[in-house]
Amino acid sequence: MVAIINRTPTGRLISLHSELRYLYQRFRNTSFDLKGMKYDSTAKLNPLMFFPLAKKNKIAGIYDPYLQNPLSPAKFHLTQSVQYDSQKSKSTSECLNALEALGWVERVGNLARITECGVKIASIQFESEEFFKMARESVLNYGIFVGFLYKCLKNKLDNGIVNKNKINLGYTDTRENLIEKNKRIPLSTGSQKDTIIRTRSTLFAWAITTGFALPSKFKELPNLQKWHIEVAEEINKKHWGWSKLKLFIPTDLFEHKIIVQRPLSYRWMTKSTKSLRERGQDHIRSASLQAEESVKNRRFAIVYSLGLAAKLRMKLDYSKFVDLLSEHPQIFLASNDNFKSVMNMEKDIGIVAGIPFYEENEIMQPLTEINLDHLKIGAPPSLVSLLDVLVSEVLVK
């Protein structure tokens, strides 16, 4: 049930690897909750014991250099602690999202457990060639990262450089409105600018660590298997100042129909609306919640239809597909705005989910395959059944 990661501390794979090793030593094959992921001063084990970047002084003892105050009771920047958590578990939740995105853990109801891949990762050293190989495979199975690589290639200059600020990955702001009591209430369907910036920085950090990019000041690294060690000093800085990066993405990456195991799933076809409540925008939050299921459904419809087309080695007539969706307004229409215009704006969700496409005259040709079972997690069976019928009518060779 992978989400769009958006907190920069998760950009350091060495931190995530440390957390995973801690979780494995403490829980092995049993499930754990968010509290179990945090530093706990009463437990025999804690994440700092497995964090190679931890430091030590006479006053603080072992401490996390990424915390502003070495004496902070938060203790570990990635999750904070049971005793003190100023983020109200947001950091921990985002850490879990990142671990799940990599395929190292999986959610089981309200709990999580380490996957078979996660057990292997936890058993090897970060400095090893095996870690680099497995981490590279992990990111290539995360739909959002695959969409990120596609956008990087599309925005690459002739010299192989990409401007970081050109890469935007998130939910589309369709600028729709609901009419209530003759008042227009805007729907909050798109990612905020600061969220997009954090996602972009995190994905570039992963790309640099796994051999797909380098800050432009770097020369190409000769030893691919030790790439993550060569760039460690750069990645481990407290703040990243990259503006231009040189790409090392295979130019034929999207010519081989790679299979993405963890596309963006139905559960995460919309953003969380909790922040709206915190900002005092209750009326917008209420309207957005009212429209949330329809927004999820239409975005899922786009990704699922592309996934089916890829599986059957066919193309999708998007214009006809949108016409068919419009015949089911109670399922797919979130507002009174022009549905076709909205759906044209929503196309980018395919790229974000991990199935970019080539389009000509509104005929879409998917460039990857995706794990449809993972995509469907949380989707109403009736929705899937309806889409199976509709998509069968709009596939072309």
Residue where a domain terminates, one of 70, 104, 122: 122
pLDDT of residue 78: 96
Report the pLDDT averaged over residues 53-81.
93
Residue 46's φ and ψ, nearest 5 degrees, are: -150, 160
> Per-residue confidence at 373, pLDDT binned at 50, 70, 90?
very high
Residue of higher predicted confidence among 156 and 288: 156
* Helix pair angle (143-154, 193-209), 10° resolution: 90
pLDDT at 28 over 70: yes
371: left (phi over 0), alpha (psi -120 to 50) or beta: beta
Mean pLDDT of the chain: 94
pLDDT of residue 222: 67
386: tokens are 């309806």
Question: Per residue in 171-209, pLDDT tens?
Answer: 999 989 888 777 888 888 899 999 999 999 999 999 999
Considering only CA atoms, give the Rg of the chain: 22
Q: Where are the alpha helices (DSSP H) in 181-314?
A: 193-209, 227-230, 232-235, 274-278, 282-311
For residue 29, tell me if it sits in a domain: yes
> Which residues span the domain enclosing 117?
8-122
pLDDT at 114 over 60: yes
The distance in angstroms from the start CA to the end CA of the chain is: 31
> Per-residue confidence at 30, pLDDT binned at 50, 70, 90?
very high
pLDDT of residue 221: 78
Instruction: Tell me if the pTM is above 0.85.
Output: yes
Q: Which residues pair with 335 in a beta bridge?
A: none
Question: Closest by alpha carbon to 137, among 113, 103, 114?
Answer: 103
In angstroms, the CA 377 to CA 2 distance is 10
Report the pLDDT averaged over residues 327-350.
94
In angstroms, the CA 234 to CA 252 distance is 28
Question: Per residue in 227-274, pLDDT tens?
Answer: 999 999 999 999 999 999 999 999 899 998 899 999 999 999 998 766
For residue 248, tell me if it sits in a domain: no
Question: Per residue in 117-175, pLDDT tens?
Answer: 999 999 999 999 999 999 999 999 999 999 999 999 999 999 999 999 999 999 999 98
For residue 64, tell me if it sits in a domain: yes
Contacts of 39 (CB under 8 A, 6+ apart): 46, 47, 48, 74, 75, 76, 79, 80, 81, 82
pLDDT of residue 110: 92
Residue where a domain terminates, one of 76, 103, 122: 122
Number of domains comprising the chain:
2
User: Would you tell me how many other CB atoms lie within 10 Å of the CB of residue 105?
Assistant: 26
pLDDT at 115 over 90: yes
Report the pLDDT averaged over residues 352-367.
97
pLDDT of residue 202: 97
Residue where a domain terminates, one of 97, 122, 147: 122
pLDDT of residue 290: 85
**β-strand pairing of 259-260 with 357-360:** unpaired
pLDDT of residue 327: 97
For residue 217, tell me if it sits in a domain: no
For residue 143, tell me if it sits in a domain: no
For residue 80, tell me if it sits in a domain: yes
pLDDT at 86 over 90: no
> Per-residue confidence at 283, pLDDT binned at 50, 70, 90?
confident
Q: What is the DSSP letter of 30?
A: S
For residue 171, tell me if it sits in a domain: no
pLDDT at 275 over 70: no
